[in-house]
Structure 1
Amino acid sequence: MSTFNLNTLFTNEQLENIELAGLNVVVAKPEGGNNPNVAWQVYKPLQANTLSWEEEYGIYASTSEVTNGARLSQLSSQPVGALQNQLYTLETSGAISGPIGGGAPNAYALENKYDNKPYMTIGLFQNANVNGTEIAGNAISAVPTLIGHKAVMTPFTTLYIWLERNVVSNTVVTNVTSRMTRLRFGGGVNTISVAYDSKLGMFIPTGDESKALDVSRVTSIDPSL
């Protein structure tokens, strides 16, 4: 299993301004080719920060609504290490069974048979290490799934990183007020180091890595508001 690392750097002046503005670093991961809708990791930055993770996932089911700021309470779950190309089922009892055949290629799938609610919120979760602290089980995605329907989830080795206030880990985030930086891992790129650029309002590659990285691996996304 490959391990990925994101290193982020800030100056003392930037840290003071970030503190004054009440901002934190937000890291999110896309699912299904869309922009992310969940704050996977949120942390108060230091000068040098490291986020590391492995590309394996768990599947969860929740009654939380997919609205900005909603905390994703994982009420039933399949632990990290869930299998791709297989189908899991959220049974009427609330238990998750499987896996069995019938999944989708290179994706994780869960069928909703829980009939106590009109729909359940289903998504993937993933472990990480932030500045030496193990963070277990934060969600990376959330999608409302009706009874009898399947949630088919395809994660990517891509991160979005930006600064935001009033956002915490493991919550839905759909209102983004600052510029996001998209970082594309994989294809032999397991570590990316970036520094915050106050003039651009985004993160940019640092040092020799800025020359080695394909320009397509680091792009900016304008705010959604």
Structure 2
Amino acid sequence: MPSYELNITFDAAGLSALSASGQSVSIVKQSAGGKPTAWITFTPQMANSITWTEQYSVYSSTTNAQSGAVIVTSSEATAIGGSSYTLNTAGYFDAGASGVVGPTQYQIVNNDPSLIISGTAMVTAGLVQGASVNGTTVSAPICAAGVLYNQTALFTPIETIQVFTSSYSNNGIVISQVSGNALTVQYTTNTTAGITYNDQQNQFILS
């Protein structure tokens, strides 16, 4: 499975500005299906390395997928692209047949009527991905979608990320929209990218 790397550099002035404003670095991983989350949020150093592999888990949660919510997963299962995963009445995932969706897609079926969010039989579901941030392993949802009982949801992760500074303090926070000054980094031809924080414009630029 492919591995990817993002290197982020700051100068002393940039780190000082973020510290004074109480901001961190947030990374959104793009996915077709579900609301975006601040997948990774961390306090930066002058040199930062974030690495991840193209490996996902499906998850379910009874956290309401509203803006600002931190998704707390209740069940997870390692997933393979092109497969369907059914949330059964015990609250766990059964793997369905592979090849039922596109090879880079992941399907979740909610067959558990006992899970309730705000009085409605539904779950919040999506994909979880792990990463290493300056040597520390993290794992959090990259998207979140409400899935009613007896319905399905389809997710297609994309190797494109958006990086910006924010006041978020947790991984996996549901966001209504990505910051307007976020830098988009596409991993279409390369698996490694480098960006720098411009403390004059207070945003990231490609190195």
Counterpart-to-counterpart distance in 1, 2:19 and 2:72 = 29
Query: What is residue 125 of structure 2 aligned with on the other side?
Result: 122
Structure 1 residue runs without a partner (length 5+): 207-225
Query: What is residue 217 of structure 1 aligned with on the other side?
Result: none
Give, in angstroms, the shift of residue 139 of structure 1: 0.8
Compared with structure 1, are the counterparts of its residues 164 and 19 closer, same or farther at alpha carbon in structure 2 (3 Å cutoff)?
same
Query: What is residue 220 of structure 1 aligned with on the other side?
Result: none
Counterpart-to-counterpart distance in 2, 1:175 and 1:2 = 28
Give, in angstroms, the shift of residue 48 of structure 1: 0.6
Instruction: Pick from 91, 99, 103 the counterpart of residue 100 of structure 2.
Output: 103
Query: What is residue 87 of structure 1 aligned with on the other side?
Result: 84
| Between structures 1 and 2, the one with greater strand share | 2
Counterpart-to-counterpart distance in 1, 2:57 and 2:33 = 19
Give, in angstroms, the shift of residue 95 of structure 1: 1.6
Instruction: Pick from 120, 134, 137 the counterpart of residue 134 of structure 1.
Output: 137
Instruction: Pick from 185, 188, 191 the counterpart of residue 186 of structure 1.
Output: 188
Q: Is the 8 A contact 1:167 1:173 kept in 2?
A: no
**Aligned residue type for 1:64:** T
Specify which structure has the bigger relative contact order, considering alpha-carbon pairs within 8 angstroms and separated by 6 or more residues.
2
TM-score by length of 1: 0.84
Give, in angstroms, the shift of residue 166 of structure 1: 3.5
Backbone CA RMSD of aligned residues = 1.7
- SS of 1:64's equivalent? coil
Q: Is the 8 A contact 1:164 1:176 kept in 2?
A: no
Q: Summarize deviations over 1:78-109 as a string: whole Å, max 9, x none.
A: 12xx1111111001221210132463102001
**Aligned residue type for 1:85:** G
The answer to whether structure 1 residue 24 and structure 2 residue 27 are counterparts is no
The structure 1 segments of at least 4 consecutive aligned residues displaced by more than 6 Å after TM superposition are: none
Structure 2 residue runs without a partner (length 5+): none
Q: Summarize deviations over 1:107-161 as a string: whole Å, max 9, x none.
A: 00110011012111001001100001111x3111100011111111000001110
Q: Percent identity, aligned pairs only?
A: 27
**Aligned residue type for 1:42:** T
Instruction: Pick from 104, 110, 113 the counterpart of residue 112 of structure 1.
Output: 110
The answer to whether structure 1 residue 150 and structure 2 residue 152 are counterparts is yes
Counterpart-to-counterpart distance in 2, 1:65 and 1:100 = 29
Counterpart-to-counterpart distance in 2, 1:75 and 1:199 = 43
Q: Is the 8 A contact 1:194 1:204 kept in 2?
A: yes
Query: What is residue 69 of structure 1 aligned with on the other side?
Result: 68
TM-score by length of 2: 0.91
Counterpart-to-counterpart distance in 2, 1:54 and 1:102 = 22
Instruction: Pick from 170, 173, 192 the counterpart of residue 171 of structure 1.
Output: 173
- SS of 1:13's equivalent? helix
Query: What is residue 209 of structure 1 aligned with on the other side?
Result: none
